[in-house]
Amino acid sequence: MSHHVMIDLETWGTGNYAVPISIGAVKFDPAKSESEWSTFHIAVDPASAMKAGLRADAETILWWMDDTRREALHRWYRLERVDLTSALDGFATWFGAESLPVWGNGATFDNVILHNAFVAAGQDCPWKFWHDRCFRTMKALPGARELEPRRAGTHHDALDDALHQARHLIRIVEHFNLTL
CA 28, CA 74: separation in Å to the nearest integer?
28
CA 44, CA 138: separation in Å to the nearest integer?
29
Q: How many CB atoms lie within 10 A of CB 94?
A: 17
**4-175 sits in which CATH class?**
alpha beta
The domain segmentation of the chain, as residue ranges, is 4-175
Instruction: Please state the pTM of the whole predicted model.
Output: 0.96
| Tens-digit pLDDT profile for residues 114-162 | 999 999 999 999 999 999 999 999 999 999 999 999 999 999 999 999 9
